[in-house]
Amino acid sequence: MNSEYGSYTKNYNLLKPDDKDFYDIEHINGNMDIVDEELDKLNQKTMQLDETVADISGLIGVKTDTGGTNTEGTVMAKLNAVLDKNDDAEINIDDIKELIGQTSNSGGTSSSGSVMAKLNKILADWTNSRADKIDTISNVIGATTNTGGTTQAGTVMAKLNASLQSETDIKNLIGQSANTGGTSNAGTAMAKLNKLLTDWTNARAVKIDTINSAIGTTSGTGGTATAGSVMAKLNALLSKVSSGVGIKSVQRGSFVEDFNVETVKTTRINISTVNPQKTFVIINGGLSAGYSNSSSAVRGYVGTVASTYFNYCAGRASLTIGAGTVGYQVIEFY
């Protein structure tokens, strides 16, 4: 685009023609390409967010999951397995350690990996785009050497370390599936996990729905400057461009000019209603020629353009020059 044509928007460098600039379809096409590219980027990010939220929900599982081991099962399945062992008085510290895993474990999925592998997977997926939230999660999990964990205080690691030191505290530290009120320094493991699920599933789902609603569907209609989805607005723009390159109406006619030898004389030409801010007038013809040594003549010009008329200002001329016929075209854009 010509850098001397109009101005550009701050964020996406869309061209904004000035009132004096001529219409050019290449400028509209350039703006459309920019909008299309930015919408595609937004759509890609939305799909990635959907996939990540689904992955996290899959890793955590539901409260009725079973079959958790040190290499298989969701977080809920593994926690339920720990509770079942405690109820049967068959708990084994080595089994718990293996189920929890090491801080460097990787490869956690919704159906395999240790607790640490699953937590590391969650951290890796969310660090780049949700750093502030990851900091909160990291504080809730704590460090491998944390101590002092109880049913009402301490990080996840502090609670797990306490459970490794005392078999009888494990069930209380894990809590029940319906526990609430989990924070970085209070609540059971179940309360903390429920807090994470609430913050990362429900809140994100609402925002994704809002984005989808704002974008709309490819067949959206009724877009205006103040209403309609993004797709509806784009479809409205494309419709206007494809049905006449943005021209709303053209009025044509002619008249015989009325001029004065000494002064400029104005003639009012009535037209159908237009928007003066989006209309211009083209004129041709005018004074008829006199003999070679006649006085100079100044051709007429367009004066005021109003919603229902425009003024034609006839030029001065010598007595040897007669009035001529003036043709006009009134062109209005959308």
Main-chain dihedrals φ then ψ at residue 200, nearest 5 degrees: -100, -15
Single-letter residue type at 74: T
Q: What's the pLDDT band for 202 if we cut at 50, 70, 90?
A: low
Is 70 exceeded by the pLDDT of residue 173? yes
| Domain containing residue 262 | 247-333
Average pLDDT of the residues in 278-301: 68
Q: End of a domain among 218, 245, 272?
A: 245
Based on the structure, what is the number of domains in the chain? 2
CB atoms within 10 A of CB 26: 10
Q: What's the pLDDT band for 135 if we cut at 50, 70, 90?
A: low
Predicted TM-score (pTM) of this structure: 0.31
DSSP-derived 3-state class of residue 5: coil
Look at residue 307 in the predicted model and tell me its pLDDT: 97
Examine the domain organization and report whether 224 and 267 are in the same domain: no
Look at residue 322 in the predicted model and tell me its pLDDT: 63
Average pLDDT of the residues in 2-10: 73
Examine the domain organization and report whether 251 and 241 are in the same domain: no
Look at residue 153 in the predicted model and tell me its pLDDT: 85
Look at residue 1 in the predicted model and tell me its pLDDT: 47
Main-chain dihedrals φ then ψ at residue 253, nearest 5 degrees: -175, -175
Examine the domain organization and report whether 102 and 185 are in the same domain: yes
Q: End of a domain among 227, 245, 263?
A: 245
Look at residue 244 in the predicted model and tell me its pLDDT: 53
Look at residue 316 in the predicted model and tell me its pLDDT: 59
Q: Are 300 and 288 in contact, with CB atoms under 8 Å apart?
A: no
Average pLDDT of the residues in 83-92: 64
Examine the domain organization and report whether 150 and 167 are in the same domain: yes
Examine the domain organization and report whether 26 and 146 are in the same domain: yes
Kindly report the CA angle at 127 between 125 and 129, in degrees rounded to 5?
90
Examine the domain organization and report whether 262 and 235 are in the same domain: no
Examine the domain organization and report whether 221 and 254 are in the same domain: no
Look at residue 295 in the predicted model and tell me its pLDDT: 46
Main-chain dihedrals φ then ψ at residue 89, nearest 5 degrees: 55, 35
Average pLDDT of the residues in 34-39: 90
Domain with residue 262: its CATH number is 2.60.40.2080
Q: What's the pLDDT band for 132 if we cut at 50, 70, 90?
A: low
Q: Give tens-digit pLDDT for 232-271.
A: 888 887 776 666 557 899 999 999 887 665 667 888 999 9
Is 50 exceeded by the pLDDT of residue 141? yes
